[in-house]
Amino acid sequence: MKNETIILGHGSGGKLSHDLIDKYFLPHLKNSILENLDDSAVFDLNDSLLAFTTDSYVVEPIFFPGGDIGKLAVCGTVNDLCMSGAEPLYLSCGFIIEEGFSFDDLEKIVISIKQSADESNVKVIAGDTKVVAKRSADKLFINTSGIGFLRKDYKISGSSAVVGDKVILSGYIGDHGIAVMSERHGLSFETKIKSDCAPLNNIVRNILNEGLGVHVLRDPTRGGLAAVLNEIARQSCVTVYINEDKIPVREEVMGACEIMGLDPLYIANEGKFVAFAAPEDADKTLEIIRSCKYGESAQIIGEVKEKSKGKVILKTSIGGERIVDMPSGLLLPRIC
Amino acid sequence: MKYIDEFRSKEASLQIASEIGKRAGGRKITLMEVCGTHTMAIYRYGIKKMLPENVRLLSGPGCPVCVTEDSYIDRAIELSCKKDVIITTFGDMMRVPGSESSLEKQKANGGDIRVVYSVLDALKVAVENPKEKVIFLGVGFETTVPTIASVILKAENENIKNFYVMSANKLIPPAMEAIVSGDKVYIDGFICPAHVSAIIGSLPYGFLSVKYNTPCVIGGFEPTDILQSIYLLVKQITENRSEVEIQYTRAVKVEGNKKAQSVIYDVFEKDDAEWRGIGVIKESGLKIKDKFKEFDAEFLFPFKYKPVKKNKECICGNILQGINTPDECKLFRNVCTPEEPVGPCMVSSEGTCAAYYKYT
């Protein structure tokens, strides 16, 4: 059955989102920078290498355990910049506000933006506000764009993974998705899980300053670890092997996933990243990540073993093997 | 969680897998896991690859969404177009293709369709929206039905007049008989469902071992549960026994959960039911008793028969019976994908085609 209109799944970061890009955006807007499809666009300007990115935040609820839409809007864009190897510098911030939204909540969110910007060492240097009629938006949407400075000696891209690379994951997966889902109306269980929402530029700076052989950096947001590993495998034309035993998942996240029939590999994160590092530099890279705030639980979870059309294979915890596919559509809880 | 970890032990799993190989010798053995949750666990943990080639697992008709007849989803879509109706459903039903649309697409076009996590949440929607008619899509097996029945009883007790159930609830043992009594596929033994059996116990499978000489083992959902169930079946087969054994003893008793059984039959009664791809199976469905017809969506909104449009090349029906595997379907991966599904087996979280697509 063909999709004739946009459905929610088109925004989920999985196959439908990629279809939308391939069929509707790229054919009209394609150029040598956009076609790289990395987290940030990288371009040369007067002999300086710059990274530029944009993202919109529509999370519901806007306040959730461990963060809010403001913190998310800063960290998300900062992380998109540093996943290209850039040092984030400046952000713009656009607000679309539904009429009736409270001043108190708006101020809380603006303060949260300020705190996150300070922590990430970036400045908000441009902004815009639009107010729309009741039900034309849901409370508050935020768009942030960001610009960063790139070192010339590094080429970090989803297409740079090579056979032999070790895959490093910076910590526990699934915290953000489960924290938000458990807050959402209608889910009748509570967890103590907090969103992992955090800026990652400090960790990335420390890795790059050491001059280590890191080829790919990417943050597994929508679509989770499964989506980013598949993207990288396809962009680099390699098969990525990962070990289920090595992937850090909190017991509470695992429990919530089991209740809902979800797989933590597909749950969103907002403060984690994967790094593909040359085998001789993998241990050192892991050590640096672990020594930084937000990277204490990092693990080497797998490696790139061969050239292919792009596949991700999981060694299961009991010694079996299976494919990890790109997510498709929205995550929907099961019947029984 | 430590308790569960023991059932996911790598050492134990590898050891049981090796014992299965030794016990089976070179004998060709075909087993069917009836339940969709077993199917997903088998693929998710890569269990097929741990078994010797001569021990084959086929997936059966145990995904409630997959066996729901095509016309049901068309009727649900028709209801979702009515002005004063809110459809409540478990997430699995959202993407199932009807003749021309799906609930997910109806929602995108403005239909008030809400995913709920329990039947009680659907009742809550009814209480919060007294002017709307709130219809719950009751699609499930013996596991889900007791909660649906108890919520109908609660609605009656609390005099909630705007809550309705559209029932396509079904019973598992009659479907297993339909498979084993046919001549399309030969099954050496059944891995019987875990949660269904927690409700009905082991006795309702007795006829399969006695009348059809088909061994049955009720197995849990963890990987070592599944491997041990396969081992017990292989042992029965190689010893020429056919019995109903319970591997999942931590949840299943011989007599089942009597209270849940009685709640089911307080509200529902057995009726012939149509299973997608299999056809009508006698006394395999549960319809709402006349006494509770004010909660029956089909009573509130009588439907006229409309022919269902479907792709003739879709072989979901055969896949549900273990006659074919998904890769034998011409549409699989080419025309039929999770994004543009032709049959429900591709979209349900427990569907065989979905498992095959996602994990192989």
Tell me the per-residue pLDDT of B341-360, one tens digit each, with 9 for 90 and over.
888 899 887 889 998 998 88
Same domain, B8 and B73: no
Interatomic CA distance for residues B273 and B270, integer angstroms = 9
Same domain, A57 and A146: yes
Any A CB within 8 A of B5 CB: no
> CATH no. for residue A218?
3.90.650.10
Interatomic CA distance for residues A27 and A19, integer angstroms = 12
Same domain, A233 and A305: yes
Q: Looking at A124, A150, A176, which one is the last position of a domain?
A: A150
Give the 3-state secondary structure of residue B133.
strand
How far out from the chain centre does Cα A336 lie?
30
- Cβ pairs bridging A and B (under 8 Å): 134
* B63 or A297, which is more confident: A297
Token pair, residue A90, equals: 């400046």
Considering only CB atoms, which chain A residues are within 8 Å of B339? 3, 9, 15-16, 19, 328-329
Question: A interface toward B at CB cutoff 8 Å?
Answer: 1-9, 15-16, 19, 186-188, 245, 251, 254-255, 260-261, 263, 314, 316-323, 325, 328-329, 332-336
For residue A115, give its domain range.
31-150
Q: What is the pLDDT of residue A101?
A: 96
Identify the segments of chain A with pLDDT beneath 50: 335-336
Same domain, A205 and A257: yes
Q: What is the pLDDT of residue A334?
A: 52
Interatomic CA distance for residues B335 and B346, integer angstroms = 11
Give domain status of residue A47, yes or no: yes
Q: What is the pLDDT of residue A329?
A: 65
Mean pLDDT of B80-96: 92
Q: What is the pLDDT of residue A137?
A: 92
pLDDT digits 0-9 by tens, B115-153: 998 899 999 999 999 999 999 999 999 999 999 999 999
Give domain status of residue B144, yes or no: yes
Cα B198 to Cα A179, B245, B351, distances in angstroms: 31, 13, 22
> Which strands sit side by side in the sheet containing A238-243, from one edge to the other?
A214-218, A274-277, A166-169, A299-307, A238-243, A311-315, A321-323
CB atoms within 10 A of CB A47: 6
Same domain, A65 and A171: no
B46 contacts A334? CB cut-off 8 A = no
Q: What is the pLDDT of residue A324?
A: 95
Any A CB within 8 A of B99 CB: no
Closest-approach residue (CA) in chain B for A19: B339
A263 contacts B104? CB cut-off 8 A = no
Which residues numbered 10-69 in B keep a CB inside 8 Å of some CB on A? 10, 13-14, 17, 37, 43-50, 64-65
B105 contacts A188? CB cut-off 8 A = no
Same domain, A187 and A293: yes
> CATH no. for residue B22?
3.40.50.11750
Considering only CB atoms, which chain B residues are within 8 Å of A314? 46
Q: What is the pLDDT of residue A336?
A: 47
Same domain, A133 and A193: no
Give domain status of residue B251, yes or no: no
pLDDT digits 0-9 by tens, A189-236: 566 789 999 999 999 999 999 999 999 999 999 889 999 999 999 999
Q: Which of B94, B342, B359 sits opposite A322 (nearest CB)?
A: B359
Same domain, A300 and A184: yes
Any A CB within 8 A of B199 CB: no
pLDDT at B218 > cutoff 70: yes
pLDDT band at B1 (very low <50, low <70, confident <90, very high): very low
Same domain, A172 and A314: yes
Number of domains in chain B: 3
Q: What is the pLDDT of residue B245?
A: 98
Q: What is the mean pLDDT of chain B?
A: 93
Same domain, B131 and B263: yes
B135: enclosing H helix or E strand: strand B133-138
Any A CB within 8 A of B335 CB: no
Mean pLDDT of B288-317: 89
Give domain status of residue B34, yes or no: yes
pLDDT digits 0-9 by tens, A10-45: 887 778 888 899 999 999 999 999 998 888 999 999
For residue B61, give its domain range.
2-65+178-246
Any A CB within 8 A of B235 CB: no
Number of domains in chain A: 2
pLDDT digits 0-9 by tens, B68-85: 988 899 999 999 999 899
Residue whose pair of structure tokens reads 């609605």 in the numeric block: B155
pLDDT at B337 > cutoff 80: yes
pLDDT at B289 > cutoff 90: yes
Same domain, B122 and B144: yes
Interatomic CA distance for residues B65 and B36, integer angstroms = 10
Q: Residues near B179 by Cβ (< 8 Å), separated by ≥ 6?
A: B32, B60, B61, B185, B187, B321, B322
The percent of residues above 70 in pLDDT, for chain B, comes to 99
Q: What is the pLDDT of residue A335?
A: 47
Taking alpha carbons only, the member of B114, B256, B269 closest to residue B194 is B256
Q: What is the pLDDT of residue A191?
A: 64
Q: Which of A188, A320, A333 sits opposite B45 (nearest CB)?
A: A320
